[in-house]
Amino acid sequence: MTRPLLAMVVFVGLAGCSSTPVPEDSFYRLGNLPEPTLVFDAPPIDGRLMIEVPRAAGIRRQRGILYSEDEDHVEVRRYYYHFWEEPPPQLLQRRLIERLRLANAAVSITEGLSSDVNYRLRTRIREFDRVVDAGVASAVIDVDVILFTGFSEGEAIFRGSYREQVNAESDLMVDTASAFSLALDQVIDRFLGELEGSL
């Protein structure tokens, strides 16, 4: 085979290999805040509240969206081209701050530590996963919540665990992101509802 012909064969082969475009990265944010379902006449947290950055396992502190498709949901994997706008701990912290302010849950709310903090809200993300069962995608959020008194970690005056699963309207990732927004708002609503009668 002559060199020009060989070069042409290689070029055609390479062109064929590169015909499939690499998927673009897609980034997702939570949906707009809904109207508050509960607004306290007087704040149940009678002081300045700090909402800590939520704790999470290492894989859940990254922006890659996690999913599980096996029957028992033992295996957790990460999408290569689908990412949250921010890591889940930051998404949860920001949503908590916004929703608790709308609900008038504390006299004032901050995300930064300062000497005038009277309470600290600590959360831990146990699940923040896209789950697929029988071809149906859903958003699963599981969160532990502890409310402490004091500037430093004081007495735990409230504990709760909340898990919500919301089916997406389709298998599109954007619909799963919408389901995550709804699931997270349901978690926060349950927390606020229990908080009202416990302090």
Domains with residue ranges and CATH for the chain = 42-196 (3.40.50.10610)
Burial of 172 (0-12, 13-18, 19+ CB in 10 A): exposed
* pLDDT classification of 4: cutoffs 50, 70, 90: low
- The Cβ of residue 33 has, within 10 Å, a number of other Cβ atoms equal to 12
* Backbone phi and psi for residue 177, each to the nearest 5 degrees, phi listed first: -60, -40
- The Cβ of residue 60 has, within 10 Å, a number of other Cβ atoms equal to 20
Which tokens hold the place of 184? 């997270």
pLDDT value, residue 3: 54
CA distances from 107 to 6, 45, 100, 112, 120 (A): 77, 7, 10, 15, 13
pLDDT digits (tens, 9 = 90+) for 122-164: 999 999 999 999 889 999 999 999 999 987 778 999 999 999 9
pLDDT value, residue 19: 64
Burial of 77 (0-12, 13-18, 19+ CB in 10 A): middle
* pLDDT classification of 178: cutoffs 50, 70, 90: very high
Which of these, 159, 28, 121, lies nearest to 82 by C-alpha position?
28
Largest CA distance in the chain: 87
150 three-state secondary structure? coil
pTM: 0.86
